[in-house]
Amino acid sequence: MGKANKRLDWCEVHLREDSNWWVGEISDDVNFDVEGLSIIDPKQFLQIHESLDSLTEYGLDSEIVDNAFFTFEIAEELKDGGVKLNRVRDSLLKADDLLFALPDIMDEEKGPYADFIKHVTKLRVLMLNDLIDFPEPYTVENLEEILREKESTAFMEGRHEHSYEEIISILEFVPDGFQLETDLDDAVDKKPEVKEEYPELETVEEAPEEEARLEKQENLRWDEEEEEENTAEEKESG
């Protein structure tokens, strides 16, 4: 359905203060509302792709991933600092060029992007139960509840959640109090080296009696030198 959209040919996007790209104008203003409409840039999708790879052994369906997004390439830079993107009909997973990915949210409840979110949520839960020994199996409902709370928080704060953040929050989700083995390995690798500290050498303080003795010797030495100088002067004058 989404791939047959003839209205969708281009969009204009801008990089905002949150370092994410957001759509400002779009050719298909019938099916898309630009208010809070986010688009995933090539660098972000590379990270998403890497995280998706970990779900391959749990049944990742590449067709569901491809159908969830419209693909765009850069056409020109705009005078206001934005970028105009033209739509291309390439597979997001197989494209040679780096592409922008616009989620197909024309039907937010049952559309291709909604199917994608449900698909990766299910697979992430399968992965978590496989790698973590939970007291009770973790469920899709558990994760969906957390995602709804996060979405509700964003709404209460008057902000829109970027699609990249929504996807990554699922693909990298781990329940509080637990860690995946890969996370533990990373923590060990990143553990700072402990430098061996050597205690400072203690300064040996001389006893008061020893100090007095040395001072007395020093004074005697100076007295002897003064007497020798006086004797020499008397001989010269005589």
Model confidence pLDDT, tens digit, residues 66-115: 999 999 999 999 998 899 999 998 888 887 788 999 999 998 888 999 99
**pLDDT number for residue 63:** 95
- Phi then psi for residue 81, to 5 deg, are 95, -5
pLDDT band at 202 (very low <50, low <70, confident <90, very high): very low
Q: How many Cα atoms are found within 13 Å in the side-chain-facing hemisphere of 65?
A: 21
**pLDDT number for residue 187:** 46
225: pLDDT strictly greater than 70: no
Q: What pLDDT digit, counting tens, does each position of 127-173 carry?
A: 999 999 999 999 999 999 999 998 888 888 888 999 999 999 999 99
- The residue among 117, 99, 104 whose CA lies nearest residue 43 is 99
Handedness of CA 129, 131, 136, 142 (dihedral sign): negative
Domain spans of the chain? 2-182
Asked if 57 contacts 42 with a C-beta cutoff of 8 angstroms, the reply is no
Q: What pLDDT digit, counting tens, does each position of 18-72 carry?
A: 999 999 999 999 999 999 999 999 999 999 999 999 999 999 999 999 999 999 9
**pLDDT number for residue 227:** 58
Q: What pLDDT digit, counting tens, does each position of 180-189 carry?
A: 876 545 444 5
Structure tokens at 200: 């400072």
3: pLDDT strictly greater than 70: no
**pLDDT number for residue 199:** 45
**pLDDT number for residue 222:** 54
Structure tokens at 224: 């002897």
208: pLDDT strictly greater than 90: no
Report pTM. Answer: 0.73
Asked if 138 contacts 92 with a C-beta cutoff of 8 angstroms, the reply is no
pLDDT band at 207 (very low <50, low <70, confident <90, very high): low
Q: In 3-state terms, what secondary structure has residue 38?
A: strand
